[in-house]
Amino acid sequence: MSDLGFLFLSAVFVENMPLTLFLGLCTFLALSKRPATAVGLGVAMIGVMGITVPLNQLIYTYVLAPGAWAWADQPELDLSYLSLLAFIGVIAATVQLLEMLIDRFFPKIYAAFGVFLPLLTVQCAILAGSLFMVERRYDIGESLVYGLGSGTGFALAVILLSAIRARLAYADLPDGLRGLGITFMLAGLMSLGFSAFAQMVAL
Amino acid sequence: MAASGRIWNTLTEPLIRQNPVTLQVLGICSALAVTTSLDIALTMAVSLTVVIVLSAGFVSLIRRHIPDAIRLIVQIIIVASLVIIIDQFLQAYLFDISQRLSVFVSLITTNCLVLGRTESFARSNPPLPSMVDALGNGLGYSLILIIIGAVRELFGMGSLLGISVLPTIDEGGWYTPLSLMLLAPSAFFLLGGLVWAIRSVQSEQVEVAEFDPIDDAEERR
């Protein structure tokens, strides 16, 4: 249990998706102008990553991994080169399904999410979650914790950044730095702060 | 003449003026993650350019046959198949580099730059201009990657492409490596600075201020 707790903390702080691994930066930068949208994006990320990483773990272990077809007299069959296609398909399908379900049962939340849900299909952080899961050979429980953890890390980072940017609207910046430039600098400073967490969890 | 001029424009426009990374904010993830040294940045730049040109070509070829509702899935599958080929190729011939790139080659699939160009340009243009546009964007992306990769490797390790340029103290030289350059934050600072530099020269790229104190005083209710 404490191992899973460590994994969660390390996914949130030490391996923070946008700030230390540079994943999901496009949405991180583009949708962090207002805290309200950032919260919506963060919640969507936690949900989607919490679902897709364990789901892809199951698909990988039982269909794609080398030796997964041993029960069918195909011990040498190795479909792992197909994992990219499978993962993308699962993510796209999950996002689509989630969108339909939320639209059907929670129309208010759906209206709040707006365009973010479909956009998550092409979010590198989500795909990377699944790819790291394969690279580090997580089992199903670890995948669930890792997915939720890295989703939470992303949510935390994007909400913090949006709060700073909201304050920054009143700052008098050099022309060339306004908007994208200063956002990069801010992300750099935040990333500097997050690198202090590197020693926090010793796995 | 006019046609070739237009193609030339499509090619050169994304290099600086419409640069995908610094202006369109596309494909930033990999631009920052793989730039700790120049050889990795170069491999990534070449892989991405190949993928983007080919996928723009294919998407553009079948653009009239893709139903609108499922076009994103179709585009992603085309891109993912190309990425798998590149990934297998790198693992076969450049194993060391492919190990250091780890998941980032696979992540070209979800690189917003590739999908952004197929979605906004290749989907509505014939193959040749689409591929030229993709090449231009790929080169613009490569340019940023190479600049940042070179700066980080030079100041972080005192070398370029593994060849020692600034002799470090460990090797008996005079240069103390700036280890911050190899860490995540420096990539953000460098890219921020680069955006600042480009926008200082190309003043039309400057973003409009969200808040103007004079306007605000009049509009406050």
Answer yes or no: do A29 and B185 touch at CB < 8 A. no
Token code pair at residue A94: 């999950």
Question: What is the nearest CA distance from A87 to chain B, expressed in angstroms?
Answer: 10
Residue-wise pLDDT for B164-180, tens only, equals: 766 666 666 677 777 77
Task: Write the CB contacts of A150 (distance below 8 Å, at least 6 apart in sequence).
Answer: A11, A12, A15, A17, A49, A53, A125, A129
Nearest to A20 among B80, B184, B200 (CB): B184
Q: Do B80 and A84 lie within an 8 Å CB cutoff?
A: yes
- Residues of chain A in contact with residue B84, where contact means CB-CB under 8 angstroms, are 81-82, 84-85
Does residue A57 surpass a pLDDT of 50?
yes
How many Cα atoms sit within 13 Å of A71 on the Cβ side? Answer: 4
Q: How far apart are CA B207 and CA A99, in angstroms?
A: 33
**Closest in A30, A124, A176 to B25, CB measured:** A30
Q: Would you call A124 an interface residue with chain B, using a CB distance cutoff of 8 Å?
A: yes
* Alpha-carbon span B158 to B166, nearest angstrom: 5
The confidence score (pLDDT) of residue A25 equals 79
Query: Residue A112: pLDDT band by 50, 70, 90 thresholds?
Result: low
Per the structure block, which two tokens stand in for A29? 């930068």
Per-chain mean pLDDT for chain A: 79
What pLDDT shows up at residue A93?
82
Q: Express each pLDDT in A145-158 by its tens digit.
A: 888 988 898 888 88
- Band of residue A1 on the pLDDT scale cut at 50, 70, 90: very low
**B107 closest CB neighbour out of A19, A128, A185:** A128
Per-residue pLDDT of A182-199, as tens digits, reads: 888 888 888 888 877 777
Q: What pLDDT does residue A91 have? A: 84
Length of chain B in terms of residues written: 221
Q: Is 60 exceeded by the pLDDT of residue B182?
A: yes
- Chain A stretch 69-88, residues whose beta carbon is closer than 8 A to a beta carbon of chain B: 81-82, 84-85, 88
Tell if the CB–CB gap between A131 and B197 is shorter than 8 Å: no
Mean pLDDT of A93-107: 80
Q: Which chain B residue's Cα is nearest to A129?
A: B103
Put simply, the answer to whether B188 touches A188 (Cβ < 8 Å) is: yes
In three-state form (DSSP H/G/I as H, E/B as E, the rest C), the secondary structure along chain A is: CHHHHHHHHHHHHHCCHHHHCCCCHHHHHHCCCCHHHHHHHHHHHHHHHHHHHHHHHHHHHHHHCCCCCHHHCCCCCCCHHHHHHHHHHHHHHHHHHHHHHHHHHCHHHHHHHCCHHHHHHHCHHHHHHHHHHHHCCCCHHHHHHHHHHHHHHHHHHHHHHHHHHHHHCCCCCCHHHCCHHHHHHHHHHHHHHHHHHHHCCCC
**A and B: number of Cβ contacts within 8 A:** 137
Question: 3-state class of B131 per DSSP?
Answer: helix
Could you report the per-residue pLDDT of B21-70, keeping only the tens digit for each? Answer: 777 677 777 777 777 778 888 888 888 888 888 888 888 888 788 777 67
Contacts of A178 (CB under 8 A, 6+ apart): B206, B207, B209
Closest Cα of chain A to B158: distance in Å? 22
Q: Are B168 and B175 in contact (CB under 8 A)?
A: yes
Q: Does A189 touch chain B (CB under 8 A)?
A: yes
pLDDT at B212 over 60: no
Chain A 127-166, CB below 8 Å of chain B: which residues?
A: 127-128, 131-132, 135
